Structure 1
Amino acid sequence: MDRRTRFAAALLALAVLGGCAQGLGGGAYTRDEARREQNVRMGIVESVRPVQIEGTRSGVGPAAGAIVGGIAGSTVGGGRGSTAAAVLGGVAGGVAGQAIEQGATRRTGVEITVKLDSGALVAIVQEADETFRPGERVRILSDGRTSRVTH
């Protein structure tokens, strides 16, 4: 496999992985969450701290990496050597694909601690798609499974 083909295969794998990422911010909704009633609670931001939201492990990264690695490995040597290189390339590609998937889908997030009007204190982690500051009045939207903080 020539250099251009390997590069194109790697770009294709990254494009597939990028499509796997889901928004985890206050303004991102899944199709299932649309048109669903939510409870709204009001409160004041007590604190905000940066966090990392780990990447996904869907299996797409290792699969894509194994395919690319196996194809690349199969071009090395001939006969049994080619088969062994394809297997080793597939394993190495799978490991690399998993690392690439996790890195490509990792997000910067915030942990927002809010003192509700009821006096309760809650903390919610979400993607950093809005800026929150201590002392700001915010809304917490909850549907029973997920919660989000918005202005």
Structure 2
Amino acid sequence: MMNKTLAITPVALGIVLALILVGCAPSTSGKVYSRDQTRISHSVYYGTVLRAEPVTIEGTQSGAGTLAGGALGGVLGSSVGSGSGRSLAVVGGAIAGAVAGSIAEKKATTVPGIELEVELDNGEIIVVVQEADDVYRVGDRVRVIKDARGTTRIRQ
């Protein structure tokens, strides 16, 4: 019975790790507002899309993946060997798990994005990169929404 519990624990920890990584990712969508961005004034400008290019928005490395991966690796390492061999396995598992967790977090939070070059009605040309959650084409009329801190998003 004890061996089955040890076998299930790493699987459960792996599932929890995956959920934590996806849940911690901040949104870069033009449609998602953080709590800090609500109930404040935003400036609105209008313009025309000059260029729309796909990009990749790099994932985050907040440390959550490193910690969770290290914990999972340590648990897996503890089920190997005995005595000083087990201690080495725990340390090695924790280090390998931490590296793997960091890589997994970055990969899980990397998203497709779009780089939009927009000519505002006042003649100014701006570029905004955001999550690719809408389809934009050259010539589209868009709204450019900017808050007091400079956070800018493009909406159709």
Q: Same fold (TM over 0.5)?
A: yes
Query: Is 1:47 aligned with 2:46?
Result: no
Aligned to 1:119: 123
Query: Is 1:107 aligned with 2:107?
Result: no
Partner AA of 2:76 in structure 1:
A
Unaligned runs of 5+ in 2: none
Cα root mean square deviation, aligned: 1.0
1:113 shift after superposition = 0.4
Count of residue pairs brought into register by the alignment: 151
TM-score, normalized by length of structure 2?
0.93
Query: Is 1:7 aligned with 2:39?
Result: no
Query: Is 1:97 aligned with 2:101?
Result: yes
Secondary structure of the 1:32 match is helix
Aligned to 1:70: 74
1:4 shift after superposition = 2.9
1:149 shift after superposition = 0.2
Aligned equivalents of 1:37, 1:96: Cα separation in 2: 42
Partner AA of 1:94 in structure 2:
A
The aligned runs of 1:112-151 (5 Å cut-off) are 112-143=116-147, 144-151=149-156
8 Å contact 2:51–2:118 — kept in the other structure? Answer: yes
1:5 shift after superposition = 2.5
Unaligned runs of 5+ in 1: none
Q: Deviations over 1:9-61 (max 9, x none)?
A: 11110011111012211111000001110111110000100000000110000
TM-score, normalized by length of structure 1?
0.96
Aligned to 1:20: 24
Deviates more, 1:5-14 or 1:97-106: 5-14
8 Å contact 2:10–2:75 — kept in the other structure? Answer: no
1:3 shift after superposition = 3.6
Secondary structure of the 2:36 match is coil
Deviates more, 1:6-15 or 1:103-112: 6-15
1:145 shift after superposition = 2.6
